[in-house]
């Protein structure tokens, strides 16, 4: 469903991704792991077309995305929840959610509108509250809800539990798992919580210095492997 071939990405003249190859089937859940600064967020930005320069190929459901601008990649089915959530604090919950609908493809008849409020009922309660007045956990729910309203085939989640109060973390984790297991949305997750990655994902990749250095089914994500590639 998603295929990356020899993907490279640059900040100016500095190469941040070096020949990344990756294949992810429809409906699967992939965890992208590694220390800080190894290229995980850069990988997402390259898939979305947000880098200065990229090389290689990106295909979603057999359609080449790498020649396309970001908004057309969204129309093709990419949803994104950035690190830090990226909501607009002066917009209401309703207005932030509406932004997600702008990324829908005109021919896409499917909609997750009802699902957003089923999974995150607090958003329905706070539709007229400004995003900046929500708690961190509520803002993260809003960011995921906005991504759902793009009607994505695949959602890229960049550290969705970072900075969230502990009593909300489990709720957000269970919502992400439900989107994948119950509703068939393909997920790529960047996450520092290894136990969540093990519990939620089908497969993993570990990155170092812009490269994939280990990958496989999640059952192969051993403590020894984590110590080798993620211990400080």
pTM for the full predicted model: 0.91
Per-residue model confidence as pLDDT tens digits over 20-69: 999 999 999 999 999 899 999 999 999 999 998 999 999 999 999 999 99
Structure tokens at 196: 């969540």
CA 211 to chain CA mean position, Å: 19
* Cα 78 to Cα 173: distance, rounded to the nearest angstrom: 20
What confidence score (pLDDT) does residue 145 get? 95
- Does the structure show a pLDDT above 90 at 78? yes
Query: Among residues 226, 184, 229, which one has the least CA distance to residue 207?
Result: 229
Q: Per-domain residue ranges for the chain?
A: 2-230
User: What confidence tens digit (pLDDT) does each residue in 134-153 have?
Assistant: 999 999 999 999 999 999 99
Is the Cβ–Cβ distance between 27 and 186 less than 8 Å?
yes
φ/ψ bin of 163: left (φ > 0), alpha (ψ from -120 to 50), beta (otherwise): left
pLDDT by residue (tens digit) across 147-205? 999 999 999 999 998 888 888 899 999 999 999 999 999 999 998 889 999 999 999 99
Which of 44, 71, 47, 43 lies closest to 58 in space, CA to CA? 47
Q: Give the Å distances, CA to CA, from 121 to 58, 105, 117, 216.
A: 35, 26, 5, 36
Q: What is the pLDDT of residue 114?
A: 85
CATH ID of 2-230, from 3.10.20.30, 3.40.50.2000, 3.40.50.300, 3.40.50.2300: 3.40.50.300
pLDDT of residue 110: 57
Residue 41 in tokens: 């967020």
Specify the pLDDT at position 97: 94
């Amino acid at each position: 469903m998603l295929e990356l071939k020899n993907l490279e990405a640059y900040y100016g003249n500095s190469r941040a991704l070096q020949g990344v190859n990756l294949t992810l089937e429809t409906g699967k859940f992939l965890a992208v792991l590694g220390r800080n600064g190894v290229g995980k967020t850069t990988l997402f930005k390259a898939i979305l077309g947000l880098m200065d320069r990229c090389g290689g190929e990106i295909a979603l459901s057999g359609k080449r995305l790498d020649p396309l601008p970001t908004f057309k990649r969204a129309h093709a089915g990419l949803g994104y929840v950035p690190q830090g959530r990226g909501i607009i604090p002066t917009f209401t919950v309703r207005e932030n959610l509406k932004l997600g609908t702008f990324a829908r493809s005109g021919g896409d008849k499917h909609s997750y509108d009802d699902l957003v409020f089923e999974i995150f009922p607090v958003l329905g309660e706070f539709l007229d509250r400004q995003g900046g007045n929500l708690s961190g956990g509520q803002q993260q729910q809003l960011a995921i809800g906005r991504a759902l309203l793009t009607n994505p085939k695949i959602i890229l989640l960049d550290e969705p539990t970072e900075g969230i109060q502990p009593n909300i973390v489990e709720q957000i984790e269970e919502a992400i798992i439900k989107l994948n297991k119950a509703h068939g949305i393909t997920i790529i997750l960047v996450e520092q919580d290894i136990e969540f990655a093990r519990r939620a994902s089908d497969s993993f990749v570990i990155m170092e210095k812009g490269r994939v250095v280990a990958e496989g089914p999640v059952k192969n994500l051993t403590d020894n492997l984590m110590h080798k590639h993620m211990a400080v």
